[in-house]
A and B are shown apart, each in its own frame.
Chain A
Amino acid sequence: MEPFIKIKSIAIPLDKVNVDTDQIIPKQFLKLVQKTGFGQYLFYDWRYEKDGTVKKDFVLNEPRYQDSKILLTRNNFGCGSSREHAAWALLDFGFRAILSTSFADIFYNNCFKNGILPIKVSEQVLQKLFESRSEIEIDLEKQTITNDDITISFDIEPHWKKILLEGLDDIAVTLRHNNEISKYENAQRNSSLRVS
Chain B
Amino acid sequence: MAKTLFEKIWDSHVVEEGNGRSLLYVDRHLVHEVTSPQAFDGLRMNKRNVRRTDLTFATMDHNVPTSNRSLPILDQTSAMQMKTLERNCKEFGIELFDINSPNQGIVHVIGPELGITLPGTTIVCGDSHTSTHGAFGALAFGIGTSDVEHVLATQCIWMEKPKTFEIRVEGKRKNPCAITAKDIILSIIRQIGTAGGTGTIFEYRGEAISELSMEQRMTICNMSIEGGARAGLVAPDEKTFNYLKGRRYIPKNYDKLVEYWRENLKTDSNARFDKSFTLHADTIAPQVSWGTNPAMTVDVTGTVPFPEEYAKGNPEEEKAATKALQYMGLKPGTLITDIELDRVFIGSCTNSRLEDLIEAAKIVKGNKISPKVRAMIVPGSQHVKKQAEELGLDRIFKDAGYEWRESGCSMCLGMNPDILSAGERCASTSNRNFEGRQGSGGMTHLVSPVMAAAASIQGHFVDVRELDLN
Chain A residues within 8 Å of B, Cβ to Cβ: 15-18, 20, 22-23, 26-28, 30-35, 45, 50, 74-76, 79-84, 87, 102-107, 109-110, 113-114, 157-159, 169-172, 174-175, 177, 180-181, 183-185, 188, 192-196
User: Which partner residue on chain B sits nearest A74 by CB separation?
Assistant: B316
Q: Which of B387-422 contact A (CB under 8 A)?
A: 413-415, 422
Question: A105: which of B226, B230, B441 is its contact (CB, 8 Å)?
Answer: B230
**CB atoms of B194 and A79 under 8 A apart:** yes
In angstroms, how far is the closest chain B Cβ from the Cβ of A158? Answer: 5
In angstroms, how far is the closest chain B Cβ from the Cβ of A179? Answer: 10
Q: Is B206 in the interface zone, CB < 8 Å from A?
A: no
Q: Which of B323-378 contact A (CB under 8 A)?
A: none
Question: A196: which of B20, B55, B317, B319 is its contact (CB, 8 Å)?
Answer: B55
**CB atoms of A18 and B160 under 8 A apart:** no
Q: Is B144 in the interface zone, CB < 8 Å from A?
A: yes
**CB atoms of B260 and A33 under 8 A apart:** no
Interface residues contributed by chain B, number (CB under 8 Å) = 77
Question: B144: which of A28, A110, A159, A185 is its contact (CB, 8 Å)?
Answer: A110
Alpha-carbon separation in the docked complex, A81 to B415 (Å) = 13
In angstroms, how far is the closest chain B Cβ from the Cβ of A178? Answer: 8
Q: Is B77 in the interface zone, CB < 8 Å from A?
A: yes
Q: Is B309 in the interface zone, CB < 8 Å from A?
A: no
Alpha-carbon separation in the docked complex, A178 to B127 (Å) = 27
In angstroms, how far is the closest chain A Cβ from the Cβ of B397? Answer: 26
Question: B195: which of A76, A83, A114, A174 is its contact (CB, 8 Å)?
Answer: A76
User: Which partner residue on chain A sits nearest B55 by CB separation?
Assistant: A196
Q: Which residues of B contact A28 (CB under 8 A)?
A: 415
Given A159-B21, A175-B153, are A113 and B147 also a contact pair (CB < 8 Å)? yes
Given A16-B320, A84-B146, A109-B147, are A35 and B38 also a contact pair (CB < 8 Å)? yes
Alpha-carbon separation in the docked complex, A169 to B141 (Å) = 23
**CB atoms of A26 and B436 under 8 A apart:** yes
In angstroms, how far is the closest chain B Cβ from the Cβ of A106? Answer: 6
Q: Which residues of A contact B120 (CB under 8 A)?
A: 195
**CB atoms of A195 and B422 under 8 A apart:** no
**CB atoms of A174 and B415 under 8 A apart:** no
Alpha-carbon separation in the docked complex, A149 to B122 (Å) = 47
Given A104-B228, A174-B23, A174-B150, are A84 and B195 also a contact pair (CB < 8 Å)? no
**CB atoms of A193 and B78 under 8 A apart:** no
Alpha-carbon separation in the docked complex, A105 to B226 (Å) = 12
Alpha-carbon separation in the docked complex, A81 to B126 (Å) = 9
Chain B residues within 8 Å of A, Cβ to Cβ: 15-16, 19-21, 23, 25, 27-28, 34-35, 37-38, 41-42, 46, 48, 52, 55, 62-63, 77-78, 80-81, 84, 118, 120-121, 126-128, 141-147, 149-150, 153-156, 158, 160, 162, 194-195, 198-199, 225-226, 228, 230, 251, 253, 256-257, 260, 293, 316-317, 319-320, 413-415, 422, 432, 434-437, 440-441
**CB atoms of B34 and A30 under 8 A apart:** yes
Q: Which residues of A contact B293 (CB under 8 A)?
A: 18, 20, 79
Given A84-B144, A174-B150, are A104 and B198 also a contact pair (CB < 8 Å)? yes
Alpha-carbon separation in the docked complex, A172 to B42 (Å) = 12
Question: B77: which of A22, A31, A102, A185 is its contact (CB, 8 Å)?
Answer: A31
**CB atoms of B199 and A105 under 8 A apart:** yes
Q: Which residues of A contact B320 (CB under 8 A)?
A: 16-18
Q: Which residues of A contact B436 (CB under 8 A)?
A: 22-23, 26, 45
Alpha-carbon separation in the docked complex, A22 to B430 (Å) = 15
Q: Which residues of B contact A105 (CB under 8 A)?
A: 162, 198-199, 228, 230
**CB atoms of A79 and B35 under 8 A apart:** no
User: Which one of A50, A171, A177 has the greatest number of beta carbons of chain B within 10 Å?
Assistant: A171
Question: A22: which of B147, B251, B432 is its contact (CB, 8 Å)?
Answer: B432
Question: Which are the 10 A-B pairs with shortest beta-carbon distances?
Answer: A113-B146, A84-B144, A33-B37, A110-B144, A76-B195, A82-B142, A31-B77, A82-B128, A84-B145, A22-B434
Given A171-B48, A180-B15, are A102 and B415 also a contact pair (CB < 8 Å)? no
User: Which partner residue on chain A sits nearest B256 by CB separation?
Assistant: A192
Question: B16: which of A16, A172, A180, A194 is its contact (CB, 8 Å)?
Answer: A180
**CB atoms of A30 and B415 under 8 A apart:** yes
Alpha-carbon separation in the docked complex, A88 to B27 (Å) = 28
Question: A33: which of B20, B81, B230, B434 is its contact (CB, 8 Å)?
Answer: B81
User: Which partner residue on chain B sits nearest A1 by CB separation?
Assistant: B146
**CB atoms of A171 and B253 under 8 A apart:** no
Q: Which residues of B contact A174 (CB under 8 A)?
A: 23, 150, 153-154, 156, 158
User: Which partner residue on chain A sits nearest B195 by CB separation?
Assistant: A76
